[in-house]
Amino acid sequence: MELTIDGRKITVKPGQSLLDAVKALGLLTGKLSLDPLAAKIAGEVFTLNYIPVRQQEITPERTSMRRAMAASGGTVKLLRYSDPTGKDAYTRTAQFVLFLALEQLWPQAHARMDCTVGSGLYIRVRGAEDFSALRLKEHVKSLVAQDIPLCRCRWQTEEAIGYFSAKGHEDKAELLRWRPLPYFDVYTHGNFADYYYGEIAPSTGFLRVWDIREAKDGFLFIFPDDNHPDQVAEYQDMPNFLSVCTEGERWCELMKCETVADLNRRVESGQIRDLIRVNEALHEKRYSQVADMICQRNAQAVMLAGPSSSGKTTSANRLATQLKVHGKDPILLSLDDYYIDRDLIPFGPDGKRDFEHINTIDTDLFGKHLVKLLSGESVELPSFDFKAGKRRYNGHTLQLRENSVIIVEGLHGLNPVLLPPELDRNRVFRMYVSPLLPLNLDDHNRIPTSLLRLLRRIVRDYETRGTSVEGTIAMWDLVRRGEKLWIFPFQESADVIFNSSTLYELAVLKKHIFPLLTRVPPEDPGYDSVQAIVKILNFIREADVDDEIPPTSLVREFIGGNAFYR
């Protein structure tokens, strides 16, 4: 059969893998930046161990083309680390090697994926008194050097449940009991088996660039640099961010809702309603505490920032309510009104206007206005006309009173260029909002914050902006690229980091999003992203409890019915 791999034609024989073809084409260089990690065929992602043409077992002289290969006409796109899906495959490969190493060195230990901290992945380890990150690092090096093939095999779901129960991984066994399909795929080596809900590299030898560092109660796995994948990323300690993440983990333990299986049981029993009430009470308490901090400092301006779909608008309004309790006069401003005219935004290297860049904001004008306002002067505020793509002035003036507090909400709210040197920084309180979801699929598989934000945005954009699932997913990579450059670098500098996630919302969002996902056709460029979402949502029980969610809830910002949008 003739394949076209990244535009190059090659004939493969029955039984040969994509990896065989890649080697024959000379596409393996030993450099992470250049080497493929997985492949996309007819909109789906496959391991490089995938065999395009199989020999039939009963009649070996007959062959059969695989379904995806037939659908693609033999066209294969290779995925590298620079591709988000390729990076996901690399991350899963790291997970397999790390948990394999932990199993071999400390078989009685309990390891749990906690959170991503900058360029590092934090994994907590319990029950290993002699745990050493250095020893783990040396063992991982050995596993990589062995270049162990990483092949996937299919077990019956009941068989997988029995295996994980016997190994003491009840979190995985419980999750599989909610699986609607009779089979389950696993990766194995020796007597170790695990799965990470997507494809991984063909062998351990592909895990070329990484580091392991000591961390409190565990270790940090350091990823390659996104811009220079052949070198390890520079890691910077983020104690404030990590503290909020570990606080979320303690909250999960307190609520006895640490995994999706725990959430599903609450849905089935109806106890999710109590979970909603307690979650919302926790958020209200945290907003009250932030308001206390602002008043104790006597700050006159709050810069409230966060990535896309983190709940900034609702947070700004709920914070304003709490400030009123203190007798303050909160005034809401949006950085969006300081956008420069759309036709003035410069083009990026790809020939497109970069709407995520800080230079989309007239930072000089904003800084001058903020200084004047805090000095007691009157300022005519701009308003951005999104339909026309122009900034307008409609005679809206503002002058602060003695008890006024400005709340400035926007993606770039923590960027230091917004605050002029002459401004007294003590008069400005900086708040970062992000849904740092502590809920895991199981101990070895976390649900990324970026996935929760994408789900929120898909539902909101469809319900309120008429944007299709395909349209939202098509722009998501650009959104995330902008966040890494212009938002995440400043999160640690915030006076407070607010975790805007709720433990219940995945069960609520599923009702709104699942029908939309199933309509996306395989030929859509974002079909692989849709399939990755569906793979996770298949384990989550849908909850029809919208009536329990209060109108001021962060979740209402995305599913509709938010009191602040009326």
pLDDT in tens, 366-425: 999 999 999 999 999 999 998 899 999 999 999 999 999 999 999 999 999 999 999 999
- Residue 146, domain extent: 86-239
Can you tell me the distance from the alpha carbon of 420 to that of 366, in angstroms, rounded to the nearest whole number?
Answer: 9
Which residues face 497 on adjacent strands? Answer: 432
CATH number at residue 459: 3.40.50.300
Per-residue confidence (pLDDT) for residue 356, from 0 to 100: 84
Q: What long-range pairs does 211-217 form, CB within 8 A, spacing at least 24?
A: 211/137, 211/235, 212/133, 212/134, 212/136, 212/137, 212/140, 213/120, 213/133, 214/133, 214/134, 215/122, 215/133, 217/124, 217/125, 217/126
pLDDT digits (tens, 9 = 90+) for 547-565: 999 999 999 999 999 999 7
Both tokens assigned to 277? 């009430």
194 and 322 fall within a common domain: no
Q: Which of 80, 106, 127 is the last residue of a domain?
A: 80
Q: What are phi and psi of 491, to 5 degrees?
A: -65, -35
Per-residue confidence (pLDDT) for residue 58, from 0 to 100: 44
380 and 402 fall within a common domain: yes
Q: Which of 57, 80, 103 is the last residue of a domain?
A: 80
Per-residue confidence (pLDDT) for residue 59, from 0 to 100: 47
CATH number at residue 19: 3.10.20
Per the listing, tokens 């923590």 go with 414
Angle at the Cα of 313 from the Cα atoms of 310 and 314, rounded to 5 degrees: 85
User: Which DSSP string corresponds to 164-201?
Assistant: HHHTT-HHHHHHHTT--SSEEEEEEETTEEE--SS---
119 and 142 fall within a common domain: yes
516 and 376 fall within a common domain: yes
Both tokens assigned to 322? 């709490």
364 and 482 fall within a common domain: yes
Check: CB of residue 276 under 8 Å from CB of residue 504. Answer: yes
Q: Identify which of 14, 134, 16, 10 has the alpha carbon closest to the alpha carbon of residue 65.
A: 14
Residue type, 376: G
Can you tell me the distance from the alpha carbon of 116 to that of 88, in angstroms, rounded to the nearest whole number?
Answer: 13
338 and 479 fall within a common domain: yes
Per-residue confidence (pLDDT) for residue 63, from 0 to 100: 46
Per-residue confidence (pLDDT) for residue 56, from 0 to 100: 59
339 and 413 fall within a common domain: yes
383 and 518 fall within a common domain: yes
109 and 67 fall within a common domain: no
> DSSP E strands: which ranges in 69-142?
75-79, 110-117, 120-126
482 and 374 fall within a common domain: yes
Check: CB of residue 499 under 8 Å from CB of residue 489. Answer: no
- What total of structural domains would you count in the chain? 3
Helices 260-269 and 272-297 pack at an angle, to 10 degrees, of 120
259 and 234 fall within a common domain: no
Q: Which of 185, 219, 239 is the last residue of a domain?
A: 239
Q: Identify which of 502, 566, 509, 515 has the alpha carbon closest to the alpha carbon of residue 541.
A: 509
Check: CB of residue 136 under 8 Å from CB of residue 102. Answer: yes
Per-residue confidence (pLDDT) for residue 64, from 0 to 100: 53
Residues of the chain with pLDDT under 70: 55-65, 566
Can you tell me the distance from the alpha carbon of 286 to that of 309, in angstroms, rounded to the nearest whole number?
Answer: 19
Both tokens assigned to 119? 């360029």
Per-residue confidence (pLDDT) for residue 415, from 0 to 100: 97
Can you tell me the distance from the alpha carbon of 414 to that of 301, in angstroms, rounded to the nearest whole number?
Answer: 12
CATH number at residue 134: 3.30.980.10
CA distances from 246 to 115, 173, 251, 539 (A): 9, 25, 9, 25
283 and 369 fall within a common domain: yes
